[in-house]
């Protein structure tokens, strides 16, 4: 039972971590609260679905790859034409515009694909694997593994490459980065695309085990936002940790305490953290200039 809850929590936590880490990148880098972030999660699922079921009827992995390339292009285009114009604007402006964009995307998807819930076809067997009394299906196992691999790759990219150095520099201080000759505009586009890709990947993966419908993103991003705040607005490692942690707490809490309060756990933690450590668990207090 305990191990089953842990595995359940890891699946949910993978999604939280992928969505939240992208959210943190955009938030920390560009200081923009992107309310349309969940829609990228939703688009990731719908794009993959389209390539699996309609256009070309590709193999799931090929479809996922093409969908991700398209998402990155789409995100880069949105960043250049709209999001980049919001850098440095006040919070009301960015909030209104990204909320508007999120409503727009939801309704476009509803108009094109329809409101009926769908499942994303995948080639794996439906019967679960039973390992030491724990039931897990191949797609679920794949979600856990792929998420961890992607998160490690992301960490390597940020810590070990030159590009990563530029990322970190911009993350820490935009003006100094600019003075050091870093193309900050390019870093913005890249980080927005990368953040969007992570959310879309979560959508493309989780579409296999859940059901995809136009409002799935709006619901997912609420939790992701909580995670970003709890972790500290500028800590992507924190977002990953808190993402997995929340998945596990929800699963264990619902399993051993009460399923009625499953969603309350996240918000109770949020309130406690905001009371005791308002800068977030992994955040550093910075003076407001």
Partner 1 sequence: MVRLDANNILLKRTGGIEILLFVLVCSVLGTVYLLIGGVSMKGKRVSLFTIALFFLLIPLATFAAGTQEPAGPIKIGVIQPLTGPIAFDGQSAVKGAELAAKEINAAGGILGGRMIELVVEDGACVPAQSVSAAEKLITKDGVVAIAGAFCSSSTGAVMPIAKANGVPHVTGISTSPTLTEQGNEYFFRAVGTSELFAKAFAKALKEQLKINRIAYLAVNDDWGRGSTKAFSEAFASLGGVNLTTEIFGMNDTDYYTYLSKIKSLNPDGLYIVGNTANAAMITNQLRELGLTCAVFGEGAWTSDNYLNLTGTNSNGVYGVIEYLYTVDTEMNKKFVKHFQETYSGATPDKYSASLYQVIYIIAQAIDRAGSTDPAKIQQALKKTNYVGLSGPMMFSPTKNQAYGFNMYMARIENGKPVLALSAPLENPEK
Q: What is the binding site for partner 1 (CB under 8 A)? A: 1, 4-5, 7-9, 11-12, 106-107, 110, 114-119, 126, 128, 130, 135, 137, 206, 209-211, 213-216, 219, 250-251, 254-255, 259-260, 262-263
Cβ atoms of 284 and 237 closer than 8 Å? no
Cβ atoms of 270 and 230 closer than 8 Å? yes
| Nearer Cβ to partner 1 (206/240) | 206
Whose structure tokens read 């070309």?
56
Element housing 134 (H / E)? strand 134-136
Taking alpha carbons only, the member of 80, 62, 98, 94 closest to residue 217 is: 98
Element housing 74 (H / E)? helix 60-81
3-state secondary structure of 129: strand
Q: Provide CB contacts within 8 A for 135, sequence distance 6+.
A: 4, 128, 129
Task: Print the SS3 string covering 152-192.
Answer: HHHHHHHHHCHHHHHHHHHHHCHHHHHHCCCCHHHHHHHHH
Least distance to partner 1 from the beta carbon of 128, Å? 5
| Nearer Cβ to partner 1 (154/221) | 221
| Nearer Cβ to partner 1 (84/110) | 110
| Nearer Cβ to partner 1 (128/278) | 128
Least distance to partner 1 from the beta carbon of 12, Å? 5
| Nearer Cβ to partner 1 (100/128) | 128
| Nearer Cβ to partner 1 (126/284) | 126
Dihedral sign, CA of 107, 113, 114, 117? negative
Least distance to partner 1 from the beta carbon of 7, Å? 8
Neighbours of 114 (CB within 10 A): 11
Q: Provide CB contacts within 8 A for 289, sequence distance 6+.
A: none
| Nearer Cβ to partner 1 (44/280) | 44
Least distance to partner 1 from the beta carbon of 97, Å? 21
Q: Provide CB contacts within 8 A for 64, sequence distance 6+.
A: 48, 201, 204, 205
| Nearer Cβ to partner 1 (129/157) | 129
Taking alpha carbons only, the member of 152, 197, 158 closest to residue 23 is: 197
């Amino acid at each position: 039972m305990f191990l089953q809850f842990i595995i359940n929590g890891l699946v949910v936590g993978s999604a939280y971590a992928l969505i939240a880490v992208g959210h943190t990148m955009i938030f920390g880098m560009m200081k923009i609260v992107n309310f349309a972030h969940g829609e990228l999660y939703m688009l990731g699922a719908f794009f993959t679905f389209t390539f699996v079921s309609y256009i070309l009827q590709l193999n799931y992995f090929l479809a996922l790859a093409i969908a991700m390339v398209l998402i990155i292009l789409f995100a880069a285009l949105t960043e250049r034409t709209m999001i980049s114009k919001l850098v440095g604007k006040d919070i009301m402006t960015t909030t209104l515009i990204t909320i508007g964009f999120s409503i727009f995307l939801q309704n476009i998807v509803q108009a094109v694909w329809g409101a009926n819930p769908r499942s994303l076809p995948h080639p794996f067997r439906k019967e679960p694997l039973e390992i030491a009394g724990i039931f897990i299906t191949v797609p679920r196992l794949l979600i856990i593994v792929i998420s961890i691999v992607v998160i490690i790759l992301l960490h390597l990219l940020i810590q070990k490459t030159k590009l990563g150095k530029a990322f970190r520099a911009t993350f820490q201080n935009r003006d100094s980065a600019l003075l050091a000759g870093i193309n900050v505009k390019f870093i913005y586009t890249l980080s927005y695309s990368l953040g969007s890709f992570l959310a879309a990947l979560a959508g493309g993966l989780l579409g296999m085990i859940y059901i995809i419908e136009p409002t799935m993103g709006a619901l997912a991003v609420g939790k992701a936002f909580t995670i970003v705040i709890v972790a500290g607005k500028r800590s992507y490692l924190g977002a990953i940790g808190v993402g997995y942690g929340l998945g596990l707490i929800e699963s264990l809490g619902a399993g051993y305490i009460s399923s009625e309060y499953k969603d309350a756990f996240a918000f109770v933690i949020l309130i406690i953290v905001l009371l005791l450590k308002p800068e977030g668990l992994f955040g550093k207090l910075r003076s407001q200039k």
